[in-house]
Amino acid sequence: MVEALERHTMVKASIAAWNAVMIRHHELAKEPVIEGWARAGHPLIVRRPGCSDTAGTIPLGLPLPPAHGKRRIAIALAASEIIEHKPPPLLAEAAAAAPSAWRATIDRLLELCPETRTFGSLAWQYLTGLPYLSQGSDLDLLWPVSALMQANTLPSRIAEIAQHAPMRLDGEIVAAAGGVQWRELAGDDGDEVLVKAPTVVHTMTKAAFLGGLLP
């Protein structure tokens, strides 16, 4: 039995479960890359639940690469239909799939926080081998807050790296309450930030979030 999974968790569906999804959604089964997704061993990503999701299921997403329309497909599976789940890949691992022009920036990001994970185009290209990255791709990251000192300095240090990066740095700083877009924490626009928790979105003060408090 799979317990509640955090947003951005990467999961794999059983082939039988995926075949059932394809039967329910004939329009998806017409695309070979989607129809063969589970057989190829490719993952899905946990998202926040939507209004149309059935209670008790796990909401999942499948972002297709640009060559396949860059569509974002939303499905939901029962916990019993998931055969594997793990966090999104570490940036240090996924860096092998990154453009050479990104290397210096990635090195700086890893010096700042070796535990940084990635969940966007770079992660999908690394995990599937499909061409997700393009010239205009962002680098989507998750920075875990491991200590109060790091929490207080992390947003400004990310901003310093972003200022000289050849790509846009996007993503969230993640603490006990959920994830906050790093630019909200680095900016001076008010004291409240929008926190994305597994099932809800709420606000709290920057100090409370970075201090590791729960809502």
Element housing 50 (H / E)? none
Q: Count CB-CB contacts under 10 A for residue 71.
A: 12
Contact 187, 203 (CB under 8 A): no
Give the pLDDT confidence score for residue 215 in this predicted structure: 64
Q: What is the pLDDT of residue 1?
A: 44
pLDDT along the chain (215 residues), means of 10: 79 98 94 96 93 86 92 94 97 98 98 95 98 96 80 91 97 92 87 88 90 72
Q: % helix / strand / coil in the chain, to the nearest 5?
A: 35, 25, 40
pTM metric for this prediction: 0.92
Place of tokens 């210096």: 104
d(CA 183, CA 155): 7
Q: Which residues pair with 84 in a beta bridge?
A: 12
Catalytically annotated residues: 138, 140
